[in-house]
Structure 1
Amino acid sequence: MRGLDDHTYRKRTAALKAKRHDCWLCGDPIDYTLPWKHKMAFTADHIQPRSKGGHIYGEIRAAHRSCNSSRSNRVTTVTTAPKTALRW
């Protein structure tokens, strides 16, 4: 990842981080003040793992570093309904 690719990816990651989503894998909140090396810090997780043919510009979601690492390069589907503030 070099030059324009790196710049574009960093902009996309920063935009995702600014939205302050919960972790898409475990559903728990992410502490966005943690240093990037902390196991519960924010990472941008590629939905389609890059090692399985995903692209640098593919869809990304917010995840804890530990959740992202645990998932490794497995393809994951969301099987639970997303959290909502509305009572149904």
Structure 2
Amino acid sequence: MAKRWDGRPYRRLCQEVRRRGDPCWLCGHDIDLTLDPRSPWSFTVEHLIPLSRGGDLLDPANARSAHRRCNSAKGNRVAPRTVGRASRRW
């Protein structure tokens, strides 16, 4: 079955996630819902398990609020990239 990004069920899921008003689950900062959708700090729906790795497009348990920039930086990794670098111990 083809995955549709523009279908009514997906738009409904996006509205539901947006309505919750959660902060970005990747960086923890609030999301300004009034920003232009093309802004790097605008709202997007991020999938915990990426679609390319078998995640379900329409599963509410797989959907989280994220900034467009944070979502893009995560890519198709399952776990978000950790902030900062671990120090090397000699």
TM-score bracket, normalised by the shorter chain, equals 0.7 to 0.9
TM-score (norm 1): 0.79
Match of 2:68 among 65, 68, 75: 65
Structure-2-length-normalised TM-score: 0.78
What is the total number of aligned residue pairs between the two structures?
Answer: 76
Correspondences of 1:27-38 after superposition (within 5 Å): 27-38=28-39
Q: Which has the larger radius of gyration?
A: 2
Cα distance, 1:61–1:7 mapped onto 2, change above 3 Å: same
Matched, 1:8 2:9: yes
- 2:57 is matched with 56
In the alignment, structure 1 segments of 5+ residues that lack a partner are 80-88
- The CA deviation at 1:52 is 0.8
Query: Equivalent pairs: percent with the same residue?
Result: 38
Structure 2, unpaired ranges of 5+: 83-90
SS in 1 for 2:46: strand
Mapped to 2, the partners of 1:41 and 1:31 lie a distance apart of 6
- The change in CA–CA distance for 1:28 and 1:17 in structure 2 (over 3 A counts) is same
